[in-house]
Amino acid sequence: MKKIITTALVASALWPAAWAGGLLHNTNQSIAWVRMMARGATNEIDGIYTNPAGTAFLDHEGWSLSLNIQSATQSRDVLATFPLFPEDDHTRLYKGKASAPVIPSLYAAYKHDRWTYSAFFGFTGGGGKCSFTSGLPIFDAGVMAGIYSETGALAKALAQNPDVAPVLADPDVAKLLPLSASNYDINSSMRGRQYIYGLQLGTAFRINDHWSTFAGLRINYFDGNYSGFVKVLPKPAMAATVQQVAVKYPTLAPAIGTLVNKEGEMANIELDCNQTGWGVTPIVGVNYKVGPLTLAAKYEFKTNLSIENDTKKATAEPAAFEAALNDYKDGVNTPSDLPSVLYVAAGYEIIPDRLRAALEYHFYDDKHAEMAHDKQKALRHGTHEVLAGVEWDINKRFTVSAGFQNTDYGLSDDYQSHTAFSCDSYSLGFGGAVNLTSKLRLNVGYFWTTYRDYTKQVPAGTPGYCNTTLQGKDVYSRTNKVFGIGIDYKF
């Protein structure tokens, strides 16, 4: 059981990204993106993130600002089937809720002739906040299998003793050796918070009427917390039976007494760990503009990121479980690199100054970004994304747009875990903009993501489901909805 709890706690440090983008990136950094998605060929203010080289073609000399606020809600559910679950169909639904009520991003650019200096701040990665208040199958299945195995092994050992073996036929003893899940309750909860704050600075240069380039960097600061507990409590009838057996058969008292500690618990593990770290992402970009056509590319280099523990609590009872918390000891460092990313995009003005369309591709090189315990090696390939969008200026005041994004993560059974699972998906977004004045623009957008359920069948054997050697099945599912509003201002 110690190995099972260790696996669960390690997995909790790998919370996936909460909004849109790769496994560890959030690419929805503006309301213009929310309502159109394919923004990799834009020459507007939000291009500071999506097409920084394109900012050399901003249509405004001087300062441009953009403030964007988004609100995201998400569910992350696990439908688990395991033979020791006491339900009739041996299946339980574990519901996880993730939320980020305020996701800000801020853009600033100063354009002078051929040069544009820009800055960006936002939540560039992390999974926001997520909680599984009713626990997770990796805890429940692991504890059930561990208790059943250990009490079964105790029964076999006692059966080898001719003086003790006869008492195993006593109905009261048979209730305890081996011990089924109907005799105790497992109370567990896991909560996580993970944000990566990004501050980007850079410069774009317009070489001529067609070409521009960009060079810059993004400073990433990681802030996370993982807290949770697992408590195994005997039901009143079981506690009474333990006492009765101990009195009735004194020779069994030492062995039976280990089932419940002096606090009346069978197991108690608690964790409260903060994690911080930082890394720098070099960024380069290029933009080519000729007539109605814009071609653009951006490359973000891999970010070496190591996160360090600041542990407030990491306790385990019985003491054998203490090794499960080794990865969360105070001062321990864990790799959590951000992968290199390539963006390429094409934009075309179908009707000049009225109707625009864009097509875009992203590649996240996740397999070469180091994760805790080399989890990246389990991926089949890096993340591939395809985006498309269209934008129509109804008149000089009103604009409407819509977009599409499809994401393929290269997932595998060995990569997926109860606290760090992803699902391939597609997203649809729509919204609009209103030019309130010649200098002030209001953006509004909404998008939702439809995820493809991921089914993971685990055969019996070694290691089996949650390291129990038994068979099991998980069906992972997610939902995601994001609404946003923002303003662009030129002065």
Ranges of each domain in the chain: 2-490
In this predicted model, what pLDDT tens digit does every residue of 262-296 receive, in sequence order?
777 888 888 899 999 999 999 999 999 999 999 99
Q: What angle do the packed helices 2-11 and 137-159 form, to 10 degrees? A: 170
Q: What is the domain class of 2-490 according to CATH? A: mainly beta
Task: Specify the DSSP element, H or E, that contains 9.
Answer: helix 2-11
Tokens of 456: 């993971």
Q: Is the pLDDT of residue 141 over 90?
A: no
Q: Is the pLDDT of residue 2 over 70?
A: no
Average pLDDT, the chain: 89
pLDDT of res. 11:
45
Q: Which residues pair with 338 in a beta bridge?
A: 303
Confidence band for 230, pLDDT divided at 50, 70 and 90: confident
Cα 4 to Cα 141: distance, rounded to the nearest angstrom: 9
Q: Is the pLDDT of residue 409 over 90?
A: yes
Instruction: Characterise 448 by phi-psi region: left (phi > 0), alpha (psi -120 to 50), beta (else).
Output: beta
β strands within 291-413, DSSP E = 293-300, 306-317, 333-335, 341-351, 355-364, 383-393, 398-408
Cα 57 to Cα 75: distance, rounded to the nearest angstrom: 40
pLDDT of res. 7:
47
Confidence band for 486, pLDDT divided at 50, 70 and 90: very high
User: What pairing do the DSSP bridges indicate for beta strands 293-300 and 440-451?
Assistant: unpaired
Cα 128 to Cα 17: distance, rounded to the nearest angstrom: 8
Tokens of 44: 């507007």
Tokens of 108: 């600033």
Cα 474 to Cα 417: distance, rounded to the nearest angstrom: 9
In this predicted model, what pLDDT tens digit does every residue of 22-70 receive, in sequence order?
788 888 999 999 999 999 999 999 999 999 999 999 999 999 999 999 9
The DSSP call for residue 338 is B
> Which carries the bigger pLDDT value, residue 351 or residue 243?
351
Q: Is the pLDDT of residue 410 over 90?
A: yes
Confidence band for 321, pLDDT divided at 50, 70 and 90: low
Q: Tell me the whole-structure pTM to 2 decimals.
A: 0.89
Q: Is the pLDDT of residue 468 over 60?
A: yes
pLDDT of res. 57:
97
In this predicted model, what pLDDT tens digit does every residue of 251-262 receive, in sequence order?
788 878 778 877
Average pLDDT over residues 205-224: 97
Q: Which residues pair with 246 in a beta bridge?
A: none
pLDDT of res. 265:
84
**Stretch among 101-105, 126-130, 174-178, 271-275 having the lowest mean pLDDT:** 126-130
Confidence band for 14, pLDDT divided at 50, 70 and 90: very low
Cα 384 to Cα 425: distance, rounded to the nearest angstrom: 11
Q: Is the pLDDT of residue 323 over 80?
A: no
Cα 53 to Cα 51: distance, rounded to the nearest angstrom: 6
**CA 463 to each of CA 414, 458, 459, 469, 472: distance values in angstroms, whole numbers, following the listed order:** 12, 9, 9, 5, 11
Residue 122 near residue 29, CB atoms below 8 Å: yes
CA angle, 174 then 178 then 182, to 5°: 90
Q: Is the pLDDT of residue 12 over 50?
A: no
CB contact set of 301 (below 8 Å; sequence gap of 6+): 281, 282, 283, 340
Residue spans of alpha helices (H) in 82-233: 137-159, 171-176
- What burial class does residue 384 get, using C-beta atoms within 10 Å of its C-beta: 0-12 exposed, 13-18 middle, 19+ buried? middle
Q: What's the full length of the chain, in residues? A: 491
Residue 96 near residue 476, CB atoms below 8 Å: no
**Stretch among 75-84, 176-185, 345-354, 445-454 having the lowest mean pLDDT:** 176-185
pLDDT of res. 158:
81
Q: Is the pLDDT of residue 109 over 90?
A: yes
Q: Is the pLDDT of residue 186 over 60?
A: yes
Tokens of 116: 């544009």
Cα 270 to Cα 14: distance, rounded to the nearest angstrom: 19
Closest by Cα among 200, 202, 199 to 54 = 202
Average pLDDT over residues 357-385: 94
Cα 273 to Cα 295: distance, rounded to the nearest angstrom: 45
Please state the separation of Cα 433 from the chain's center in Å. Answer: 31
Helix (H, G, I), strand (E, B) or coil at 180: coil
Average pLDDT over residues 434-441: 96
Task: Specify the DSSP element, H or E, that contains 245.
Answer: helix 236-248
